[in-house]
């Protein structure tokens, strides 16, 4: 990085933060602070929804995942458009009609306070911990590659998000996310165009021949993680949980001038999400081709850590692996060019033979990469905290892009970290204020100024908690994986509660409360059974429909055996 | 317990106000059609290159 890169990076990031803070500094109306300006249009809502969902991992790690495993991950998003249609048609009109600030407030009106607290509690538990991961995950990669201090990177990123989220609340988050998305789109398209200029004309065919372009897989095997079926069924329930019941998303679209604005904002995402993700995974597949044809491609992309070992006491072992990889890489490049020649000649038998030789060369090269990874992790256990694929795109950015564009791409990474983090903090502050603090201070609900002040304090507290947690995570290497699992297994029961709330009018609070707990136990049992017997483990996306269905069925069953409840207040129900 | 400020009642099925669409059902139909087209396009893409 040179002075131009620093100028672009700091100018972009600080400029957007300062602009958002300044424009929303007088936000003292509770509705504006929690829901955003009542004049917000669908374009802003749509970008805000997109920015909250896509964290730095999307832009930093996904190209690397596609580079290593191909583009099948795109199927994960197949259920998303269908889920957004349901959210638009069912969830959003009800939230708007009741004028709620949070999704869990609706549960209180529809069922009872204990169900509301269950929903809000599950949300703050998951999101509070994940807010720390949102900072930590990109920080460890960027700090490693750029030689920055990890703790300083975490604290600076966290403080920037806290400043404008606390100052302007939802209004500031919406405003800044719009500009951050503009930076993200601009940076990613620029990187894509630069990459295209460095590739041969038949790059897509090479990627396909090397097994990186299998976008869809119709195999009906529940053990496979990414197929059309897991994507449509499991992805539908996962997206319905996330967009319909997770306050970090609900908060983005319940504001706005009219119901129409929220709906169009969600439809904007329904149409654009899969193409946008396709663009990112294709970028990754093309990065793979670029590095296949690039002399001197490193055996592992986390070169900072690798070079430390090269210069360490086990340097001879690491240099030997490097030399072996260099020879195999050169051989693979020759095989690629032979396959291209056979493909262009139209000689089918020659092409089949060339592809077989290429597959064998790729297998040999991959074996050395695995050996390098295992050797590195044995020598430096800290290397287990990240995957090597996380370093593929950032390596390309730092070594292949011109100065200025490097700064822009780093601004993309920090913009995405800030935008998703701000959305999370905003939702945590809101839920803590509306569903938890107000529950214990019911008389304070009428004091709007006090509510805004409490929301600001709680937002800041969650921000500092997230920073503290991110700093702690660095000493607990398996925590990230554990938390991701926890988040993915807690959504289904919560979605089940909302499905019962919307569609099964005769089911009351106690039945759904205990049904949710029972469904949660079922999901946990299936999950741990799969871990104990890996041969019988199912793809994790299937937990979503199973957990949701269990909650609905248990609710129906319990409602038939439980005594009828007398509702203390008459609330207009959808 | 939480007397949120109720917004003015708004019709649940107000017109989408999008050129070419008179109802939300039409908008949802269009989005679904785009989704199907995208999956078909990805299938063709896979067959062409993989």
Q: What is the ipTM of this complex?
A: 0.84
d(CA B39, nearest CA chain A) in Å: 8
Please name which of B36, B38, B33, B29 lies closest in space to residue A89, comparing C-alpha atoms. Answer: B29
Residues A282 and A323 in one domain: no
| Residue A345 touches partner B, C-beta closer than 8 Å | no
pLDDT for B12 beyond 70: no
Q: What angle do CA A528, A80, A520 make, to 5 degrees?
A: 25
Domain that holds residue A237: 3-291+398-561
d(CA A41, CA A60): 29
d(CA A73, CA A227): 9
pLDDT band with cut points at 50, 70 and 90 for residue A315: confident
- Cβ–Cβ pairs < 8 A, chains A and B: 96
Residues A43 and A120 in one domain: yes
Assign A333 to helix, strand or coil.
helix
pLDDT for B35 beyond 90: yes
Residues A274 and A307 in one domain: no
pLDDT band with cut points at 50, 70 and 90 for residue A131: confident
How far CA A198 is from CA of A165, A286, A289, B49, B50, in Å, comes to: 40, 10, 10, 20, 22
d(CA B20, nearest CA chain A) in Å: 14
Q: CA A119 from chain center: how many Å?
A: 21
Residues A109 and A173 in one domain: yes
Please name which of A442, A274, A492 lies closest in space to residue B37, comparing C-alpha atoms. Answer: A274
When mean pLDDT is compared over A133-142, A240-249, A281-290, A349-358, the highest value belongs to A281-290
Q: For tokens 């030399």, what's the residue?
A: A323
> What pLDDT shows up at residue A498?
92
Average pLDDT over residues A463-483: 70
Residues A485 and A522 in one domain: yes
When mean pLDDT is compared over A25-39, A311-325, A373-387, the highest value belongs to A311-325
> What pLDDT shows up at residue A485?
64
Residues A139 and A232 in one domain: yes
Please name which of A426, A440, A375 lies closest in space to residue A123, comparing C-alpha atoms. Answer: A426
d(CA B30, nearest CA chain A) in Å: 9
DSSP letter string, A419-488: HHHHHHHHHHHHHIIIIIIHHH-GGGGG-HHHHHHHHHHHHHHHHHHHHHHHHHHTT-TTHHHHHHHHHH
Q: N- to C-terminal Cα distance for chain B?
A: 59
Q: CA A203 from chain center: how many Å?
A: 28
Assign A407 to helix, strand or coil.
helix
The rounded percent of chain B whose pLDDT value lies above 70 is 74
| Residue A439 touches partner B, C-beta closer than 8 Å | yes
Select from A34, A105, A205, A213 the residue whose CB has the most chain B CBs within 10 Å, as the one to mutate to test that interface.
Answer: A213
Q: Whole-number mean pLDDT of chain A?
A: 87
Inside any domain, residue A296: no
Inside any domain, residue B43: yes
Please report residues of A whose CB lies closer than 8 A to that of B49: 204-205, 207-208, 213
Residues A92 and A203 in one domain: yes
Given an 8 Å threshold on Cβ–Cβ distance, is A84 in contact with B42?
Answer: no
pLDDT for A574 beyond 50: no
Inside any domain, residue A475: yes
| Secondary structure E strands in A58-101 | none
Q: In CATH, what number is assigned to the domain containing residue A266?
A: 1.20.1730.10
DSSP letter string, A289-304: HHHHSSTT--SSS-HH
Contact between A377 and A155 (Cβ < 8 Å)? no
Q: What residue spans of A210-299 are helical by DSSP H?
A: 228-229, 235-245, 247-253, 259-292
Neighbours of A478 (CB within 10 A): 9
Q: Which of A385, A415, A437 is the last residue of a domain?
A: A385
Residues A17 and A149 in one domain: yes
């Amino acid at each position: 990085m040179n002075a131009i890169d620093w100028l672009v990076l700091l100018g972009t990031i600080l400029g957007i933060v300062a602009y958002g803070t300044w424009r929303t500094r007088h936000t003292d109306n509770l509705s504006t602070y929690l829901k955003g300006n009542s004049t917000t249009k669908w374009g802003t809502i749509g970008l805000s929804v997109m920015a909250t969902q896509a964290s730095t991992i999307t832009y930093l790690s996904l190209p690397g995942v596609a580079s290593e495993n191909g583009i099948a991950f795109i199927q994960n998003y197949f259920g998303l458009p269908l889920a957004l249609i349901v959210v638009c048609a069912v969830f959003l009109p009800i939230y708007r009609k009741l004028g709620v600030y949070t999704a869990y407030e609706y549960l209180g009106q529809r069922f009872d306070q204990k169900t509301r607290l269950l929903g809000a509690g599950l949300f703050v538990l998951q999101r509070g911990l994940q807010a720390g991961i949102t900072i930590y995950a990109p920080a460890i990669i960027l700090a490693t590659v750029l030689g920055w201090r990890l703790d300083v990177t975490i604290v600076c990123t966290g403080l920037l998000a806290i400043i404008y989220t606390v100052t302007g609340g939802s209004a500031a988050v919406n405003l800044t996310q719009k500009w951050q998305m503009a930076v993200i789109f601009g940076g990613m398209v620029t990187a894509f165009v630069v990459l295209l200029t460095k590739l041969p004309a038949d790059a897509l065919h090479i990627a396909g021949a090397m097994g990186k372009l299998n976008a869809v897989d119709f195999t009906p095997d529940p053990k496979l993680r990414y197929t059309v079926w897991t994507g449509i069924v499991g992805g539908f329930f996962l997206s319905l949980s996330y967009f319909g019941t997770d306050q970090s998303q609900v908060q983005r679209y319940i504001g706005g001038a009219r119901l129409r604005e929220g709906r169009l904002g969600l439809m904007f995402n329904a149409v654009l999400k899969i193409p946008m993700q396709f663009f990112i995974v294709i970028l990754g597949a093309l990065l793979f081709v670029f590095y296949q044809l690039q002399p001197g491609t490193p055996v592992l992309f986390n070169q900072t850590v690798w070079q430390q070992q090269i210069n360490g006491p086990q340097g001879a072992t690491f240099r030997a692996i490097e030399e072996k990889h260099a020879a195999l890489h050169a051989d693979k490049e020759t095989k690629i060019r032979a396959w291209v020649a056979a493909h262009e000649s139209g000689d089918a038998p020659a092409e089949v033979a060339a592809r077989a030789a290429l597959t064998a060369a790729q297998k040999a090269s991959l074996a050395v990469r695995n050996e390098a990874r295992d050797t590195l992790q044995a020598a430096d256990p800290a290397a287990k905290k990240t995957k090597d694929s996380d370093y593929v795109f950032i390596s390309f950015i730092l070594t292949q892009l011109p100065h200025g564009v490097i700064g822009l791409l780093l601004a993309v990474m920090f913009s995405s970290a800030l935008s998703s983090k701000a959305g999370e903090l905003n939702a945590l502050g809101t839920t803590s204020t509306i569903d938890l603090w107000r529950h214990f201070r019911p008389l304070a609900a009428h004091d709007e100024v006090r509510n805004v002040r409490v929301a600001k304090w709680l937002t800041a507290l969650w921000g500092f908690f997230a920073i503290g947690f991110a700093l702690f995570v660095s000493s607990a290497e398996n925590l990230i994986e554990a938390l991701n699992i926890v988040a993915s297994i807690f959504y289904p029961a919560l979605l089940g509660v909302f499905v019962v709330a919307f569609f099964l009018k005769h089911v009351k609070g106690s039945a759904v409360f205990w049904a949710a707990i029972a469904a949660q136990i079922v999901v946990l049992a299936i999950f741990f059974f799969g871990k104990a017997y890996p041969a019988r483990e199912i793809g994790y996306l299937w937990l979503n429909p199973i957990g949701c269905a269990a909650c609905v069925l248990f609710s129906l069953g319990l409602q038939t055996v439980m005594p009828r409840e007398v509702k203390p207040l008459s609330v207009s129900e959808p | 317990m939480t007397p949120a400020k109720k917004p003015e009642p708004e019709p649940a099925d107000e017109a989408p106000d999008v050129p070419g669409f008179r109802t939300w059902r039409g908008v949802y139909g269009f989005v679904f059609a785009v989704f199907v087209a995208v999956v078909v396009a990805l299938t063709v893409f896979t067959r062409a290159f993989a």
